[in-house]
Structure 1
Amino acid sequence: MTTEITLDLPTAEDTRALGRRLGGLLRAGDLLVLTGDLGAGKTTLTQGLGEGLGVRGPITSPTFVIARVHPSLQDGPALVHVDAYRLGDGAELDDLDLDESLDGSVTVVEWGAGVAEQLSEERLELILVRSGSAAEDQQGRSARLRGIGTRWDALLRQVSRP
């Protein structure tokens, strides 16, 4: 089953707010695969996810460390934040042993399209697209959320409500 919605995100704060809404609905075992150009808001969205999940921050791009684990400050799952930009293929992602932590955490893979799908048959794919040429904090975006599997239908209905 595949469910898809598209949301307009006029500001970076709207992108972060989407992350907070999503984060409040996620559970251990969820996989999110983020796609978008540089500056499209992948890390901003992940910061909101971290706020919604109640994990320890700060959440910054893990480009040079490849993966960071943000433990829960509450009684929820940890956030595993991965940047697959520098990874050549799924085999290099496999070397990170993410499947070992997948069941007990929420895993977010930036630049994960084409490499992270192997981690789970059920996942949420988010494609962020910038619009205009304004400063990054005021730049409009749109987000296409595509849920793969039965888990995501009801969740995406909740997220699409104002």
Structure 2
Amino acid sequence: MNYRFDYTLDDAARIGAAIGGALMAGDVVALSGDLGAGKTTLARAMLKARGLAGEAPSPTFAIVQPYAPPEVDLPIAHVDLYRIEDERELIELGLDDYLYDGALLIEWPERLGEGGWPEALLLAISGDGDARVLTAVVPPAWGARWPL
């Protein structure tokens, strides 16, 4: 199913919290959009929904920022692929390992190339300023628990 939402930055916390609350082990959420679109803002709201009390740093330089209990109630890796130049570099990240008991939040998923996860929840953000558009491609695995 495809969904389209107009929202403001004030709505981002509510949207991210709803999606984050529905996350389960094995889930991949792919966040795409231009620089400054709000990908990290949504990811932070998802992490907060899972119990993260502090500020989640952007994983731009670390590439993978893992979170584990008791910091959150579900292990989650927040991934930023912006600096990945060759999809062969992805093998070294071991992203599949996070899916055994946790979830992945991936910014810049287009850097995955032909790889990736066919059952990923795809969230594309467009717009600028305070007015944004979120387009969600919801796979069958999310059908009954899609919160929006």
How far off its partner does 1:114 sit? 4.7
Q: Give the TM-score normalised by structure 1.
A: 0.82
1:72 aligned to 2:69? yes
Letter in 1 for 2:143: D
Structure 1: segments with no counterpart, 5+ residues: none
Q: How many residues align?
A: 148
**Aligned AA (1:102):** L
Greater alpha carbon shift after TM alignment, 24-33 vs 65-74: 65-74
Pair 1:143 & 2:134 matched: yes
Moved more, 34-43 or 109-118: 109-118
SS at match of 2:22: coil
Structure-2 separation of matches of 1:27 and 1:81: 14
Structure 2 runs not aligned, ≥5 long: none
Deviations 1:114-162 (CA, angstroms, capped at 9, x unpaired): 517734231101000124xx4xxxx1111001123x2122233x32xxx
Q: 1:41 to 1:62 in 2, by over 3 A?
A: same
Q: Give the structure-2-normalised TM-score.
A: 0.89
Matched to 2:125, the amino acid is: L
8 A contact 1:56–1:71 mirrored in 2 = no
Aligned with 1:53 (options 46, 50, 65): 50
Letter in 2 for 1:48: A
Contact kept? 1:72, 1:79, Cα under 8 Å: no
Structure 1's consecutive aligned runs of 4 or more residues displaced over 4 angstroms after TM superposition are none
Mapping 1:1-162, distance limit 5 Å = 3-10=1-8, 12-55=9-52, 57-73=54-70, 76-115=73-112, 118-131=115-128, 134=129, 139-148=130-139, 150-156=140-146, 158-159=147-148
SS for the counterpart of 1:118 is coil
Q: Percent identity over the alignment?
A: 32
